[in-house]
Amino acid sequence: MAKLNRDSLALVVLLGCITALGPLSTDMYLASLPSLAQLYSTDAATVQLTLSAFLAGFAATQLVYGPLSDRFGRKPVLLVGVMIFVLASIGCALAPSIEALIGWRFVQALGACSGVVLGRAMVRDLFERERAARMMSMIAMALGLTPAVAPVLGGYLHAHLGWQANFVAMALIGLALWLSIALLLAESNQRRDPAATRIGPMLHNFATLIRHQRFRGYVACIAFCYGGLFSFISGSSFVLMGVFGISETAFGYCFGLVVIGYIGGAMIGARFTVRLGVDRMLQLGVGCCALGGVLMAVLALTAHQLGQSWHWFSLVGPMLIYTAGVGLTMPQAQAGGLQPFPQMAGSAASLMGFTQMTVAALVGIGVGHALNQTALPLAFAIAAMGLLTAASYWLIVRRAA
């Protein structure tokens, strides 16, 4: 069977689906989180560990997939990762306890993170800086459909078939993706490094990346803006359903509404990056993250001071602005950070993803423990992440330039 051409729309869609394994795994069962707490007779913080354990596995394994793909190629490593995801999704559906579910979520992450690391590395293999940023933005548009559709689908599956149906659906989607990769995707790594998996050269590559100031700045932008997004992912079901009183299915639509901002930001990036450049688009993105986060915190604090619980849109509206910033920031920062390292794109993508997921896991744990009967902990966490995103750009990236 013929392989996909690098300029084809089908390749964009397939790479978008590969990178979507991460958000699919986190977003599809969000409406089930409050019910899982009741089912397993535990609290919100313990159930939230199913998300944080996923991110911990996601973060740690990214340091492995990049060097492996630099050595052996992107495609064979990706096929192994996706199959791990399929088997672990089945394990999640059969988990008899919350501890087992947390464990299987960790294993599921070991497979899902292959898509994010290797999808970014493939883009770097095929395209240079501005075109890579445009490609990242186009993939982000395709990727944005996942958090728009997954919570809605997950809410209906939960309501009609139970929470296990979400993980069965993930397994079926992963299997279809494995077959598509095997049949349609060509190997993109034409600069394989036989030394990439040796401990000494691997550590040397990571040290080279860490010493690069602009790389550090771009990675900080990615990590903090995603930290705010993950705060919403991990806490929004408890706040929207517990504080504002919406249903599981309504939550799916609220979450999908937030994704409109992300898709809009990605569309703007895809349209204007080549003309205006990576850094101008990044300035707009970090500004939206800061604005959305601060606006959410101000509205939540004002409602608390007045002793009122405002409409759910007081949370979702500012998050629309924030996610537009995420859709602008992440593709530009990913392209800018990977561009100087063509011979270690896998290692660079690994370190980038490791930092992103580590920050998100820590923030998610903090939000899980801080949640109360108000929107304040969630709003303050998102505001802090938005301000740190903007500070990372202006104090690190711009100064390095």
Q: Give the containing element (helix H, strand E) for 198.
A: none
Q: How far apart are CA 239 and CA 252, in angstroms?
A: 13
Residue-by-residue pLDDT tens, the chain, 401 positions: 567 777 777 887 888 888 888 888 888 888 788 888 888 888 877 888 888 888 788 878 878 888 888 888 889 999 999 999 999 999 999 998 899 999 999 999 999 988 888 887 888 777 776 677 777 777 777 667 777 788 778 888 888 888 899 999 999 999 999 999 998 888 877 777 787 778 888 888 889 999 999 999 999 999 999 999 989 988 887 888 878 888 777 887 787 788 888 888 888 887 887 778 888 899 999 999 999 999 999 998 998 887 776 778 888 999 999 999 999 999 889 888 888 887 777 788 778 888 988 898 789 888 878 888 888 899 999 999 999 999 999 999 988 76
pLDDT score, position 156: 84
Burial of 180 (0-12, 13-18, 19+ CB in 10 A): middle
3-state secondary structure of 5: coil
> Hey, CA dihedral for 236, 242, 248, 251, is it positive or negative?
negative
Structural domains present in the chain:
9-182+195-400 (1.20.1250.20)
Which residue in this structure is represented by tokens 């800018």?
Answer: 336
For 12, 68, 115, 174, 266, the CA distances from 344, given in Å and listed in that order, are 22, 11, 17, 27, 26
pLDDT score, position 101: 93
Q: What angle do CA 344, 115, 49 make, to 5 degrees?
A: 110
Residue 344 DSSP class:
G
User: The tokens of 11 are what?
Assistant: 């390749």
Evaluate whether 131 touches 274 at the Cβ level (below 8 Å). Answer: yes
Enumerate residues 6+ apart whose C-beta is below 8 A from 229: 322, 323, 326, 360
Which candidate, 125, 115, 116, places its Cα nearest to that of 180? Answer: 115
pLDDT score, position 1: 56
Which residue in this structure is represented by tokens 């998102």?
Answer: 382
List strand residue ranges (DSSP E) for 176-326, in order.
Answer: none
> Hey, CA dihedral for 365, 371, 377, 379, is it positive or negative?
positive
Q: Give the containing element (helix H, strand E) for 339.
A: none
Residue 197 DSSP class:
T
DSSP string, 103-145: HHHHHHHHHHHHHHHHHHHHHHHH--HHHHHHHHHHHHHHHHH
Q: Give the containing element (helix H, strand E) for 214.
A: helix 213-242
Report the 10 Å Cβ neighbour count for 166: 26
Residue 279 CA neighbour count, 13 Å, CB half: 11
- 212-245 burial, b if ≥16 CB within 10 A, otherwise e? bebbbbbbbbbbbbbbbbbbbbbbbbbbbbbbbe
For 48, 84, 230, 298, 369, the CA distances from 51, given in Å and listed in that order, are 5, 18, 9, 27, 13
pLDDT score, position 74: 87
User: The tokens of 121 are what?
Assistant: 């590395």
Q: How far apart are CA 350 and CA 117, in angstroms?
A: 6
- 55-86 burial, b if ≥16 CB within 10 A, otherwise e? bbbbbbbbbbbbbbbbbbbbbebbebbbebbb
Q: How far apart are CA 90 and CA 83, in angstroms?
A: 11
